[in-house]
């Protein structure tokens, strides 16, 4: 049994504007609906737990999508807090060894083939797996708007989501990071702190996270073509 965990309690400060970006529309639907549909359409995914901000008045009230359960909980101050809250809120039938796919509500252009690759990798490895892609640009370190240095990029990847881990191990890892006062920006970082070496699965470069208005325009184009 595989469940999706969707952190959707962010405020979209880098995007700006009054509407949290997960509720902005692209190709006629909110970003969060594209993300949920992509995961719940997969035959191995049984349901989704969505972490919402306490004051979220825009949640459309879905209890089912793609004929699968959509549950919700209250997220936290950081993305990692929201993911931990969602893991803890999952139904008891989702055991510690069950695989969970953690995916940003702000990544609407997730495709079936990437989910297939991720599940295949995560099911063969106790350390889990994440989607990502190798860096293909030269990296510059900035200082006061000027190039301060060129950073080596060999072996560097960009981490995407979904990130796939066993419910129990990820809950323990995120809780350990929180207890240590360490803010992790993805699930793999928490697992790495515990000594795990998750698989890197090369995924589509168009699995973008909508962070700024320019990203939304690109998402509109990509989803309109899908
Ligand atoms: N406390 C938080 C912060 C973020 N998220 C979610 O984590 C995903 C990725 O985070 P990000 O792109 O940073 O979203 P925001 O935090 O909303 O953006 P910003 O940092 O610009 O405010 C988003 O789906 C966001 O809703 C969350 O569930 N809980
Ligand atoms: C989880 C993530 O999307 C992987 O790249 C990223 O770390 C989220 O970062 P954000 O600053 O919370 O958007």
Q: What is the pLDDT of residue 191?
A: 98
First to last CA, the chain: 28
Strands 199-202 and 68-74, sheet pairing: unpaired
Residue 151 lies in a domain: no
Main-chain phi, psi angles of 180, to 5 degrees: -85, 0
H or E segment to which residue 149 belongs = strand 146-151
Q: Which pTM value belongs to this model?
A: 0.98
**Among the atoms of ligand 2, which is closest to the Cα of residue 79?**
12
The ipTM is 0.98
Residue 100 lies in a domain: yes
CB 79 less than 6 A from any atom of ligand 2:
yes
Q: Please report where in the chains the tokens 């295949």 appear, as a residue.
A: 120
Q: How far apart are CA 205 and CA 203, in angstroms?
A: 6
Residue 8 lies in a domain: yes
Q: What is the pLDDT of residue 225?
A: 87
Q: Provide the domain limits for residue 62.
A: 2-132+158-225
- Nearest one of 160, 169, 211, 226 to 193, comparing CA atoms: 169
Residue 104 alpha carbon to ligand 2 centre in Å: 8
Residue 17 lies in a domain: yes
Residue 215 lies in a domain: yes
Query: C-alpha angle 215/46/107, rounded to 5°?
Result: 5
- Nearest one of 159, 204, 166 to 184, comparing CA atoms: 159
Residue 34 lies in a domain: yes
- Give the pLDDT confidence of 109-150 residue by residue, as tens digits: 999 999 999 999 999 999 999 999 999 999 999 999 999 999
Residue 185 alpha carbon to ligand 2 centre in Å: 6
Q: What is the pLDDT of residue 40?
A: 98
Instruction: Report helix, strand or coil for 156.
Output: coil
CB 159 less than 6 A from any atom of ligand 2:
yes
**Among the atoms of ligand 1, which is closest to the Cα of residue 8?**
26
Instruction: Give how many domains the chain has, as a whole number.
Output: 1
Residue 141 lies in a domain: no
Residue 143 lies in a domain: no
Ligand 1 pocket test, candidate residues 13, 21, 79, most atoms within 8 A of CB? 79
pLDDT along the chain (226 residues), means of 10: 97 96 97 98 98 97 98 98 98 98 98 98 96 98 98 98 98 98 98 98 98 97 91
Q: What is the CATH number of the domain that holds 214?
A: 3.90.550.10
């Amino acid at each position: 049994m595989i469940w999706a965990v969707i952190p959707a309690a962010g405020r979209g400060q880098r995007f700006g504007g009054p509407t949290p970006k997960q509720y902005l529309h692209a190709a006629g639907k909110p970003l969060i609906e594209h993300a949920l549909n992509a995961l719940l359409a997969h035959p191995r995914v049984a349901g989704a737990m969505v972490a919402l901000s306490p004051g979220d008045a825009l949640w459309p009230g879905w209890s089912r999508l793609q004929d699968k359960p959509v549950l919700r909980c209250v997220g936290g101050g950081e993305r990692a807090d929201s993911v931990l809250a969602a893991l803890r809120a999952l139904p008891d039938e989702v055991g510690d060894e069950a695989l969970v796919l953690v995916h940003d509500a702000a990544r609407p252009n997730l495709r079936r083939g990437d989910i297939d690759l991720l599940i295949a990798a995560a099911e063969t490895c106790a350390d889990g797996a994440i989607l990502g892609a190798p860096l293909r640009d030269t990296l510059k370190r900035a200082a006061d708007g000027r190039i301060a240095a060129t950073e080596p990029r060999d072996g560097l990847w960009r981490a995407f989501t979904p990130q796939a881990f066993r419910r129990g191990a990820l809950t323990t890892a995120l809780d350990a990071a929180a207890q240590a006062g360490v803010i992790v920006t993805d699930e793999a970082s928490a697992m790495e702190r515990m000594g795990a070496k998750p698989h890197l699965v090369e995924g589509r470069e168009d699995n973008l996270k909508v962070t700024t208005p320019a990203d939304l325009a690109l998402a509109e184009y990509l989803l309109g073509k899908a």
